[in-house]
């Protein structure tokens, strides 16, 4: 495992790091809640309001030059691309700054080939991320990046080749990024020079369409009991809140949420983690055995959504919404729809087959698996994207859009 320090030159880069392809920043690694972070986690990445930290157009030109043809083929092969697909691929990437020391699969360029190696990238390194929030390119040298597949708890980091151990390095705070369950429309960043300022950056743009927001503005935790893990993650991300979970490994999207800590209604600052407890003993759609009734935590003392204070309006999301979902079985931006968990839930009480609790009862339902959202008797939380406040990193503002199958149209960069 090689350490890669911010600002340090690579011994075998794809492109000369003095060519101005990217510029790292001085960022102290932030503590992370657990080692795995999903690519749509609010505040996972940082940014700045200065000039673009990655020159994507220049990288595109380098890879298109005939004299770099062999290098372009190696670069594309490392990312499972065809060379003629490089321009479109680069147009979909977004420049960010790492806020955590992050494990990746890096690549050097040696003897005409991309040579992979596991690497620990220091916080402050500028990278390009893809439409699921995954590291894709190291900006300063153009090296392609792939996901780290090893065990982060068994890494042995080698600090050499000019990459001396940096101040603040803490092995327990190293992060591994896992893809968001669907394509993102926007990424909510934290200004690395002013943590009270957030930056909302549309995917596929380099900063020219950024909008700012106040990271100190608090948002209420929505009611999540009975929803799927994937749906709960999107609701939290839509309010600028991060997801944590009990146990090791990311739960399946269809795992049913039985509790959240803090509970619904708690008001938290942007990027704060909410720990979810889930039932993982069933199928990806939610399991075949009902967990103990969690609805005792239902927010009857006060609604989760209306209590949240207003915040700077987020920019409008593209009308088409996400272009596709990586896990069609889980809800995507439509948290009120109970079809996914209800289909796999145990038989409901007599008189109802699915949907909301039986009309003959006024008490909390005894089978939480019959709905994926809180009972209709209380105002349901807002669906998909943020109701007001911190911007959505993963859920578009128009939740009906996930039924669209055509790729979402995003602004493309214009070569300078």
**Residue, of 189 and 401, whose pLDDT is higher:** 189
Q: What is the pLDDT of residue 317?
A: 39
Mean pLDDT of 364-385: 41
Residue 47's φ and ψ, nearest 5 degrees, are: -160, -175
Q: Report in angstroms the alpha-carbon separations of 112 from 21, 70, 74.
A: 21, 6, 7
Confidence category of residue 356, pLDDT binned at 50, 70, 90? very low
Q: What is the pLDDT of residue 152?
A: 87
Q: What is the pLDDT of residue 413?
A: 55
Contact (CB, 8 A) for 265 and 304: yes
Task: Determine if residue 162 is left, alpha or beta; phi over 0 gives left, psi from -120 to 50 gives alpha, anything else beta.
Answer: left
Q: What is the pLDDT of residue 92?
A: 97
Q: What is the pLDDT of residues 113-130, one digit of tens each?
A: 999 999 999 999 999 999
pLDDT for 69 beyond 50:
yes
Residue 241's φ and ψ, nearest 5 degrees, are: -110, 145
Q: What is the pLDDT of residues 236-292, one digit of tens each?
A: 999 999 998 876 778 898 999 999 999 999 999 999 999 999 986 554 433 333 333
Q: What is the pLDDT of residues 14-46, one digit of tens each?
A: 999 999 999 999 999 988 777 889 999 999 999
Q: What is the pLDDT of residues 297-352, one digit of tens each?
A: 334 333 333 333 334 444 443 433 333 333 333 333 333 334 344 344 444 444 44
Q: What is the pLDDT of residue 76?
A: 98
The number of residues in the chain equals 416
Q: What is the pLDDT of residues 190-234, one digit of tens each?
A: 999 999 999 999 999 999 999 999 999 999 999 999 999 999 999
Tokens representing residue 391 in the block: 């911007």
pTM of the entire predicted model: 0.69
Q: What is the pLDDT of residue 368?
A: 38
C-alpha angle with apex 100: 199 to 234, nearest 5 degrees?
Answer: 55
Q: What is the pLDDT of residues 137-164, one digit of tens each?
A: 999 999 999 999 988 888 899 998 889 9
**For residues 178 and 145, what is the distance between their CA atoms, to the nearest angstrom?**
13
**For residues 410 and 328, what is the distance between their CA atoms, to the nearest angstrom?**
22
């Amino acid at each position: 495992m090689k350490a890669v320090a911010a600002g340090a030159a690579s011994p075998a880069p794809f492109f000369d790091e003095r060519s101005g392809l990217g510029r790292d920043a001085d960022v102290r690694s932030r503590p992370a809640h657990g080692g795995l972070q999903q690519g749509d986690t609010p505040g996972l990445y940082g940014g700045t309001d200065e000039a673009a930290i990655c020159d994507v157009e220049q990288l595109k030109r380098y890879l298109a030059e005939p004299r770099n043809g062999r290098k372009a083929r190696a670069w594309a092969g490392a990312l499972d691309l065809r060379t003629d697909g490089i321009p479109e691929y680069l147009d979909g990437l977004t420049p960010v700054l790492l806020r955590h020391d992050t494990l990746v699969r890096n690549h050097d360029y040696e003897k005409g080939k991309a040579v992979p190696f596991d690497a620990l990238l220091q916080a402050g390194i500028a990278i390009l991320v893809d439409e699921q929030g995954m590291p894709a390119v190291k900006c300063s040298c153009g090296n392609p990046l792939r996901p780290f597949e090893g065990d982060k708890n068994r890494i042995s980091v080698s600090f050499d080749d000019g990459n001396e151990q940096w101040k603040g390095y803490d092995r327990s705070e190293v992060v591994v990024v896992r893809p968001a369950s669907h394509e993102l429309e926007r990424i909510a960043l934290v200004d690395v020079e002013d943590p009270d300022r957030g930056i909302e950056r549309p995917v596929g743009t380099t900063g020219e369409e950024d909008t700012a927001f106040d990271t100190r503005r608090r948002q209420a935790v929505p009611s999540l009991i009975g929803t799927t893990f994937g749906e709960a993650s999107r609701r939290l991300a839509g309010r600028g809140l991060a997801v944590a979970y009990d146990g090791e490994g990311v739960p399946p999207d269809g795992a049913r949420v039985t509790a959240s800590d803090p509970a619904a209604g708690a008001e938290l600052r942007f990027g704060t983690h909410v720990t979810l407890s889930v039932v993982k003993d069933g199928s990806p759609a939610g399991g075949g055995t009902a967990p103990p009734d969690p609805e005792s935590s239902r927010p009857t003392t006060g609604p989760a959504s209306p209590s949240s204070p207003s915040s700077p309006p987020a920019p409008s999301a593209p009308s088409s919404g996400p272009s596709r979902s990586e896990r069609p079985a889980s809800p995507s931006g439509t948290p009120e729809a109970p079809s996914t968990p209800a289909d796999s839930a145990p038989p409901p009480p007599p008189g109802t087959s699915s949907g909301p609790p039986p009309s003959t009862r006024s008490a909390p339902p005894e089978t939480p698996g019959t709905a994926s959202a809180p009972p209709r008797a209380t105002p349901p939380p807002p669906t998909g994207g943020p109701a007001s406040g911190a911007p959505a990193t993963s859920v578009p503002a128009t939740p009906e859009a996930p039924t669209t199958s055509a790729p979402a149209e995003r602004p493309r960069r214009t070569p300078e």
